[in-house]
Structure 1
Amino acid sequence: MNNKKQQAHALIGLALVGGLMATGVAQAGGFMTPTANTAGWGRAFGGGSMFKDDPSSAFNNPAAMAFIDKTISQFTINYADINIKYKGSAYDYSGRPMSETTLDENFSPVYHDRTGDGGQGGFEAWVPTGFMVIPINDRFSFGLSQVVPMGARTTWDPDWKGRDFAVDTRIETVGLTASLSFKVNDQFSVGGGAILQHTKGFVSQNVDLYAAAAQSPALGGIPFPAGLGYSLMRVKVDNNSLGWFAGVAWKPTEFDTLGLNYHAKIKNKLEGKYNIYADPGSEALMTTPVIDGKTLVEIAYPGLHLYPGGANASTQLDIPANASIDWVHQFSDRLTLGTSVTWTQWSSFKALTLKSDGNTIVSIPYNYKNTWMYSLGGDYKLTDDFTVRAGVAFDQTPTRNSTRDPRIPDGDRTFASLGFGYKIRAIPGLSIDGAYSRQFVETVNLKTKNVDRLGGGSLDGKSEAKGEVVSMSATYEF
């Protein structure tokens, strides 16, 4: 390949990945998202990027790019439909069913039970990705990609019974990557790359200030009524961060390809602002001095200052390290199968801590556990131009029963996928792929107690979830 063609292909690749900066979420365990292309979704991720001429290797395992002998660009669009429902009860800090509270003519609290479960906590989203692999010479290949490595979204009714645990949660990350592979010989290659990613987060929930005050030892356990008024806190943060990844690929026989890849943990400190939208009574708790120039909130929680008009906010939300082993075996000219095992170091995610100007507003424990994902899938060529795919996968949840909440009410999930690929003869080099994947998510318990600063309420119920992903891609070989 001459230099002018290489430069042209590189420019096309940069334009491809640069034009995909809109993002959504296709949910997997925790807040990680799959980075497969359409063919990978059709195989339920079995074999990773070890199948022949798979441009998603530019991110998933850059070593495999060394065995691609032509420039390949690919654009993928995924549509995700995730459905989440809560069924159960919610209680305030005193064990009373969650309620709205008003005051009667004698200024005594009157409780009104809230019975709504909150409706549907799921979402719909569009997720674009792009990959490009450019062989430089017989030894080196260069790759570009745009991926969505992290994301989660849940949206509950603002007045649902669990509003003190979650209302809106959105975590979205877009990453641009560059990678390089080196072919050691015809059987072995190595590769590595870097990712520049932009993460933005938005969360909101009610903060029951009266109930929080009642939990404070500093106030001697004064039984303030829960559910009196409202204080909706909204937090919006973002950050740019850098990470790296690497892999090796080995062809022990002409029919087998093995791969090992590692994506390092990415430290990700998000910064932005919080706002609180409160009724006059709740706002007075945050702004009106009552003793020694301190507000009731400051007395209840020394060092905690809340500003309804907004203030700086920051939180640490790292992307955990993960590693995969992939194996692809070609049984015949028509049948190829692949299997994968992926480990994710979720134990690095201990808590979601929100700070403002160095002071902790709230710290919500999660204590995630490390997980494994197992995948099996493959291709069958019906004709030289038409291929069908299928696969299954099992993905463990990192969440624990004791700390699982409505933000990410995650359970173990099973993927069942179907797909196809078609080469368009009228346009040499162009092919299209389609896939459908159904997620069967375990029904999990949501039996958890909120931290005192958020009112000390509790949930006793279950979360039911399911998901569907439809994926389409166009691939062009130069």
Structure 2
Amino acid sequence: MYKKRLFTKTLMATAVMLASQQSLAAGFQLNSQSATGLGRAFAGDAVIADNASVMARNAAAMTLFNAPAMSLGLNVIDTDITVKNSQYTTPFGTSSLDDDQIGGSSYVPNLYYVHPVNDKLALGAGIYSNFGTKTEFSDSFAANEFGGLTDVKSLNLTLNAAYRLNNQWSVGGGLDIIYGQGKLQRSNQTLEGLVQQQTGVAGPLLDVDVDGTALGFNLGTVYELNDANRFGLSYHYSPELKAEGDMYAQPAGGNLQGQKLLMPLPDMVEFSGFHQLNSQFAVHYSVQWIEWSSFDALKTNQDVTLNDYQWQDGWHYAIGGTYTVNADWTLRAGYMYDTSAQDKKTSISVPDSDRQWFSGGFSYNLDSKSTLDFGLTYLMGEDIKATEQTTATAISATTRADALLYGVQYSRSF
């Protein structure tokens, strides 16, 4: 009886934590803007400009086109996420939980168009995604106050312009209209029953279905040393997205109708280089910085804080090569080392670690103006010890997140 009273007395603080531990699983960045980029681990993507998708990484590179160009593609992300060796602790004791698979498939389309106005000015528009993730624990997972469903998607509409200053320098930039949508659910029948007993209010621990739109921008530059060597630098400002919809967090405010969920997104800076070593072989590389430390807290516009985070800035380091076999076929490959956004605070529902990308792909020229591209990446994570706790419950487990990414793309010049 004492343990039950202790359990009940701590429910208020517990449910606040339950509603917040993994509320922005979409904090993971999506590198899936094109099939060509996927096939080289996005090495050099801010400056290569082999199709119109380059505007997603650096608008200034649109000056490298001498004819209108269009790209249309689809990338698929199949995640293999395992939560194993779980130890679940409540005031009634500690128990081992069965392993759970929480991965799934995500489909990320993209569309780009570049239109050179003259030999100096180019305009472009694109639709793609920078952020998104999905994890879903089975209903039988006992610790679903830490698991549940996290399904977040984003769509970026970009409107860009680029201008050639001289033979070496080009600049560019534009607006990013970002639409985000999220569904977040956390549940536990025992905890929900005790919350109802304590407060007289019945409801899930967390049930959020929101969406919103925000305005960002991007800036970039390209320096062409000569025809065979060039460098690119770009900056993406990501705004704080204010999402509206149905929000219920028990008992952290209960029904949060009328409030907005504030989701800070990270700024990004990327440097890329491209070097055509001979008529057939080129090497390229990129370094990207992602300001995940800006994701400090998840709260509403009425200052209801759901959780404080201790994320750290992330880095991507990528190198790749492109080999032109003949007039019809081009092969590419790349490697990326991608650092984790999480630092001291870890999670079972947002399994994160340093990751390695092993990528390959090809292009086939259907004719002089049309190209079909294919890219494939195996993303390999690491085993990470994740621990989470509230004032009433705790869980420790080993998580591992691997993924297979593949994409197809059609590009055409006019």
TM class by smaller structure:
0.7 to 0.9
Unaligned runs of 5+ in 2: 1-24
Which residue does the alignment assign to 2:216? 243
Which residue does the alignment assign to 1:7? none
Deviation of residue 475 (structure 1)? 0.5
For residue 266 of structure 2, the aligned residue among 292, 299, 320 is: 320
Report the AA paired with residue 263 of structure 2. Answer: L
1:433-476 deviation digits (Å, cap 9, x = unpaired): 111100001111111213x4xxx321111102210011100001
Which residue does the alignment assign to 2:207? 234
Which residue does the alignment assign to 1:331? 277
In 1, the alpha carbon distance for the partners of 2:286 and 2:330 equals 21
Change (3 A) 1:212 1:413: farther
For residue 247 of structure 2, the aligned residue among 258, 274, 277 is: 274
Deviation of residue 312 (structure 1)? 4.1
Deviation of residue 406 (structure 1)? 2.5
Which residue does the alignment assign to 1:155? 136
- The structure with the largest strand share of the pair is 2
Aligned to 1:464, what secondary structure does the other structure show? Answer: strand
Report the AA paired with residue 227 of structure 2. Answer: E
Which residue does the alignment assign to 1:415? 357
Which residue does the alignment assign to 2:381? 441
1:33-59 deviation digits (Å, cap 9, x = unpaired): 115311111111111131244312222
Change (3 A) 1:94 1:49: same
Change (3 A) 1:408 1:32: same
Report the AA paired with residue 297 of structure 2. Answer: A
8 Å contact from structure 1 (residues 259, 327) kept in 2: yes
Deviation of residue 156 (structure 1)? 0.5
8 Å contact from structure 2 (residues 70, 113) kept in 1: yes
Report the AA paired with residue 437 of structure 1. Answer: T
- Mapping 1:83-94, distance limit 5 Å: 83-94=80-91
After superposing on structure 2, the runs of 4+ consecutive aligned residues of structure 1 that deviate more than 6 Å are 210-214
- Aligned-pair identity (%): 25
- Pair 1:404 & 2:385 matched: no
In 2, the alpha carbon distance for the partners of 1:35 and 1:186 equals 31
1:282-325 deviation digits (Å, cap 9, x = unpaired): xxxx8xxxxxxxxxx6xxxxxx5425xx8445321122001011
In 2, the alpha carbon distance for the partners of 1:267 and 1:305 equals 22
Report the AA paired with residue 289 of structure 2. Answer: W
For residue 61 of structure 1, the aligned residue among 58, 61, 65 is: 58
Which residue does the alignment assign to 2:72? 75
1:78-98 deviation digits (Å, cap 9, x = unpaired): 111101111123434437226
Report the AA paired with residue 346 of structure 2. Answer: R
8 Å contact from structure 2 (residues 49, 62) kept in 1: no
Which residue does the alignment assign to 1:306? 254
Which residue does the alignment assign to 1:291? none
Two-structure CA RMSD over aligned residues (Å): 2.5
Higher-Rg structure is: 1
8 Å contact from structure 1 (residues 57, 63) kept in 2: no
Aligned to 2:222, what secondary structure does the other structure show? Answer: strand
Change (3 A) 1:352 1:180: same
In 2, the alpha carbon distance for the partners of 1:468 and 1:127 equals 13
1:114-152 deviation digits (Å, cap 9, x = unpaired): 7333x2101112110111110001110001100111111
For residue 115 of structure 1, the aligned residue among 86, 97, 108 is: 97
In 2, the alpha carbon distance for the partners of 1:187 and 1:343 equals 25
- Pair 1:179 & 2:123 matched: no
- Pair 1:464 & 2:373 matched: no
- Pair 1:48 & 2:45 matched: yes
In 2, the alpha carbon distance for the partners of 1:350 and 1:410 equals 17
Unaligned runs of 5+ in 1: 1-27, 99-113, 220-228, 277-285, 287-296, 298-303
> What is the aligned residue count?
386
> TM (normalized to structure 1)?
0.76
8 Å contact from structure 2 (residues 272, 285) kept in 1: yes
8 Å contact from structure 2 (residues 46, 233) kept in 1: no
- Pair 1:431 & 2:371 matched: yes
- Pair 1:377 & 2:374 matched: no
Deviation of residue 186 (structure 1)? 1.3
> TM (normalized to structure 2)?
0.87
Report the AA paired with residue 328 of structure 1. Answer: F
In 2, the alpha carbon distance for the partners of 1:141 and 1:35 equals 24
